[in-house]
Structure 1
Amino acid sequence: MEPENDCAWKPKQGMTFDSEQCVYDFYNIYGGRMGFSIRRDFCRKNKVTNQLICRLLVCNKERFRKGDKRDPLSKNPRAETRTGCEARLYVKLDEGTGKYVVADFKEKHDHDLFGDVVTFDTTYKLNKEHRPFASFVGFNHHRETVIFGAALLYNETAESFVWLFQNFLEAMSGKAPKTLFTDQDAAMAKAILIVMPDTTHRLCTWHLMQNALKHVNYLFQDKGVKGVLNKFFFDIEDTNQWKLEWAKMLDKYDAHENHWLKLTFAVKEKWGWPYVRSTWAAGMSTIQLSESFNALLKDYIRSDFNLNEFFMHFEMVLYEKRYKELEA
């Protein structure tokens, strides 16, 4: 079903279904496309035939969780994940036709819709020509690594990345990531803005720290790079306070003319804590998933493989990942 065809994939009053399971499957697919999970709620059955008369399906953030029955002094209490969301789909049995009819549909959610967070990396050169290997990696619902896509590139120009991102979106049925993590590459940034303008582009904090060690470590010898920059990555929540502290840092270390700091400040919306703290990131701040995936590939792929050998062994990696997901 094409996303442009609202009648096909979006619920509306009056839609009919052959069974309650068909209703559930339809709403579940819709939720997956939109970025939320569903669960079964209220239902009523015929007391004589035990046939389902009506069913209410809700967003998994509907209501609020009851109090935690475990020791209130637990060091790791379960986080509250419900928000009282009122999004729902309610169906009733039409006894004349035997079909279930949508009687009520509330579309609006009171929370952000939980899309994919993807890390994108091209730093690992696996083939003898040292061509960039690009991977799109994220978490699955078991918080294990899932590979969304991969490619061998000829070069790392903006034009190549535009081509790659366009083909990635086509493979993903047009669904762009909610958030995309990359390193501090200008060509990548340009292509993301062109192809995925609604995707939140965030910079990997680990790569930023490594670049800082190369470019400004000599400035911060008293506290070190982490001692000076950590608060800008993880601590200061107010944008005005963040800018004030940045200015103080430039004054203290006489770093107003440092080229790397100028460039990094210019993209602060992609890494500064008050700018990114409210974006959906699945708990990530780095492209560590991609790094771990690249390390795994070393066990399967040698640099002297030709293209056929490369992709044959890459398929083995995918098979192992998918098997582990099925096990989980």
Structure 2
Amino acid sequence: MDSGWQRNILENGGKVGESDELRVGMEVSNETEAYELYNTYAFEKGFSIRKGTVRRDAQNNVRQRDYFCSKEGFPLDEEMGEVKKVRRLDTRTGCKAMIRFTVDNGKWKIAQFNPVHNHEFAKPEERQFLRSSRHIPTVRAAIIGSKVDVSVRPTKSQSHLEKEMGSTDNAGHNCLHRMKEGMIEGADGQSLLDYLKHQQMEDSNFFYSVQVDQYNRVTNFFWRDSRSKLDYDCFGDVVLFDTTFRTQKYNLICAPFVGVDHHWKNVLFGCAFLSDERTDSFTWLFETFLESMGNKRPKTIFTDEDNAMEKAIEIILPGTHHRLCTWNISKNASQYLASHLANPEFKECFNKCFHDCVTEAEFEATWDDMVKKFNLENNLWLKKLYLLREKWCPTFSSDTFTANIGCDQRGENINTTFHQISTKTMDLIGLAQHYEKKTKVLRSAEAEEDFRCKNGMPRLKVNTGIFKHAAAEYTIKMYSFFENELLSTFGVRMMEVGNDGNQYVYEAIEEGHQRVYTIQYNSTTSMICCSCKLFESMGVLCRHALKVLDLKNFMSIPAQYIVKRWTRGAKKQNVMSGGLCELSCKRAKSAQSLRLSELTHEGNNVFSIGSLCDSGTRIVKQKLVEAMKLLESDTETTSMLGTLNK
């Protein structure tokens, strides 16, 4: 039987509202209810809780129990030499918010309650990541149950849960029966168009384009939503275009456009389904993709090896570096070099050609030795691979930014995301819905990483100087990468070999290796360049450059070497480089799309901050009213609006 506080929450739609704020004197029946009462309150507010002090009487019965905000206190200093298997984030801020229950005659009564926090609350869409709210409490499960009857499908109940929690998660599904989504029958070109039009009605910046033949049958189509456009604005410098998946029912080529975000996780920019692999189809697709992204070209695009695709890239993306994905090459190698890859010595040589050659001369020597030593002069696949070496060997493109997106691990992740396309029989709309589901999964993972960055800092092995600066700037994942480079400076031996007053030249050798790296440093501009080219290709300073900065007593990373796309603020106030005036776009629709994207970026940041409290919300609303009045008095705006309404 529900206790009074549970019934009140059920009657109020599952929320602890203004009239149901916790207060001294409220009672519950047992410890479980006490915990769930405070945990439910915490969830609605946007913070996590943990169990605190418990006091017992002589008979070992609980007399008093405290629950704290999870950010109570400060982290303890770690013991010297203690090795942690998992490095937890520092999330505590010394918050004093807490609740105290006293127990008398079996009743748990609130004796003390402090609702004041010293930190920002989680937004509704972030609450699913709160540690104490990962499992749906009895109250929220009861709420779902109250919404379900014989006439309500489980998906309706899950939708109610999404509104309450801001998102779906595994815990929500555990409270509901899983149901397979019904597929729309007769998924011809018209039904697909209707589906895409509906998506555009729901999302004003949704973009799609479809090609049909003379029989009104779909041949090629592409789409992306507004979020993909925003992501591309931030992370569209490198794109992986994968055409290795085919649908089972229609034998269409599934071709997602994939990038890497500031957490070094996959991000989807859009998806295409193509009926063939002709140059004309790829040309249409790349043109359409660029149009949807305001004609902003990526710096680098990774693809599989395909002559028709290469021609289309040369036509549509003439200034973009075209690279081949090493994951696809590795898959093909297992087919054409299977017996040799079983030989550890050959595998070492083969991998060196892909990853460890710094100069072109070193690559050529390593390749020639491998071919001669293992009698591969007549291997046709290797001959073709050698002719394409400038597209896959990092040695020939060390100055090109790649974010390491073409690596084997990333290709494997994409394969895991889309392999079901090739194994399930779906109609066209089912394929689009499948892509939508995968997109939501990736975005949920990004949101969780954002939440971790917002609510914690890495535990620093050295809590000074560049370590502290990097931890404050970079995302947790990228700090881990940077920290590895910084700690590796201890194994770098440095020697000054040139100095003309403000321009220094150093040579560096890593312990246990013979390779010599050359570093140039300008003391006037703080510009630094290393022959390993890690910064040029990855956007993070290498151990050799960091060694020089350490020698020069730098306590922070020079501003020009903090690449925004790897920082915690990568998606804040993003404005496309060059501005609107430099756009090559000739179509007004594309220009408007870009302006809408920029306004959306700025607006989301303002709305996010304004929603933190009532006064902030009032300020934003007031300024929106003022902005609308200014727009209504602007001649150019009213003229354009009048044209659209005709």
Normalized against structure 2, the TM-score is what? 0.31
Match of 1:205 among 321, 326, 339: 326
Match of 2:284 among 163, 187, 190: 163
> Does structure 2 retain, via aligned residues, the 8 Å contact 1:147–1:318?
yes
Query: Are 2:372 and 1:251 aligned?
Result: yes
Q: From the CA coordinates, give the structure whose radius of gyration is larger.
A: 2
Query: Are 2:397 and 1:276 aligned?
Result: yes
Hey, what's the Cα distance between the residues in 2 that align with 1:214 and 1:224?
Answer: 18
Hey, what's the Cα distance between the residues in 2 that align with 1:220 and 1:321?
Answer: 34
Counterpart residue type for residue 281 of structure 1: T
The answer to which of 226-235 and 247-256 deviates more is 247-256
Shift of 1:133: 0.3
Shift of 1:309: 2.8
- Could you say which residue in structure 1 is the equivalent of 2:559? none
Shift of 1:224: 5.9
Match of 2:350 among 222, 226, 229: 229
Query: Are 2:297 and 1:176 aligned?
Result: yes
Shift of 1:202: 1.5
Structure of higher RCO (CA pairs closer than 8 Å, 6+ residues apart): 1
Counterpart residue type for residue 327 of structure 2: W
Aligned pairs (5 A) from 1:286-325: 286=407, 288-289=409-410, 291-297=412-418, 303-325=424-446
SS at match of 1:174: coil
Residues 226 and 306 of structure 1, relative CA distance in 2, 3 Å threshold: same
> Does structure 2 retain, via aligned residues, the 8 Å contact 1:119–1:289?
no
Match of 1:238 among 330, 353, 359: 359
- Structure 2 unaligned spans of 5+: 1-79, 81-234, 451-646
- Could you say which residue in structure 1 is the equivalent of 2:238? 117
Count of aligned pairs: 219
Residues 120 and 245 of structure 1, relative CA distance in 2, 3 Å threshold: same
Normalized against structure 1, the TM-score is what? 0.58
Hey, what's the Cα distance between the residues in 1 that align with 2:362 and 2:415?
Answer: 38
Counterpart residue type for residue 244 of structure 2: T
Counterpart residue type for residue 232 of structure 1: C
Counterpart residue type for residue 175 of structure 1: K
Shift of 1:226: 2.2
Hey, what's the Cα distance between the residues in 2 that align with 1:145 and 1:226?
Answer: 28
- Could you say which residue in structure 2 is the equivalent of 1:264? 385
Residues 307 and 274 of structure 1, relative CA distance in 2, 3 Å threshold: same
* 1:40-71 per-position Cα deviation (integer Å, ceiling 9, x unaligned): xxxxxxxxxxxxxxxxxxxxxxxxxxxxxxx9
Residues 293 and 268 of structure 1, relative CA distance in 2, 3 Å threshold: closer
Residues 206 and 298 of structure 1, relative CA distance in 2, 3 Å threshold: closer
Shift of 1:230: 0.8
SS at match of 1:122: coil
Hey, what's the Cα distance between the residues in 1 that align with 2:284 and 2:376?
Answer: 38
- Could you say which residue in structure 2 is the equivalent of 1:136? 257
Shift of 1:219: 5.4
- Could you say which residue in structure 2 is the equivalent of 1:42? none
Residues 225 and 322 of structure 1, relative CA distance in 2, 3 Å threshold: same
Hey, what's the Cα distance between the residues in 2 that align with 1:301 and 1:262?
Answer: 31
SS at match of 2:431: helix
- Could you say which residue in structure 1 is the equivalent of 2:247? 126
Residues 236 and 300 of structure 1, relative CA distance in 2, 3 Å threshold: closer
> Does structure 2 retain, via aligned residues, the 8 Å contact 1:205–1:271?
yes
**Percent identity (aligned):** 38
CA RMSD of aligned residues (A): 3.1
Residues 321 and 222 of structure 1, relative CA distance in 2, 3 Å threshold: closer
Shift of 1:189: 2.1
Aligned pairs (5 A) from 1:20-35: none
> Does structure 1 retain, via aligned residues, the 8 Å contact 2:334–2:341?
no
* 1:154-198 per-position Cα deviation (integer Å, ceiling 9, x unaligned): 012222212111111111111111111122233222222222121
Counterpart residue type for residue 407 of structure 2: T
Residues 117 and 225 of structure 1, relative CA distance in 2, 3 Å threshold: farther
Hey, what's the Cα distance between the residues in 2 that align with 1:143 and 1:175?
Answer: 21
SS at match of 1:232: helix
Residues 148 and 175 of structure 1, relative CA distance in 2, 3 Å threshold: same
* 1:209-263 per-position Cα deviation (integer Å, ceiling 9, x unaligned): 2222222344566546522311111111111221122223232233333211121
Residues 128 and 287 of structure 1, relative CA distance in 2, 3 Å threshold: farther
* 1:108-135 per-position Cα deviation (integer Å, ceiling 9, x unaligned): xxxxxx8621111111223412211000
Counterpart residue type for residue 251 of structure 2: H
Query: Are 2:267 and 1:146 aligned?
Result: yes
Hey, what's the Cα distance between the residues in 2 that align with 1:288 and 1:304?
Answer: 27
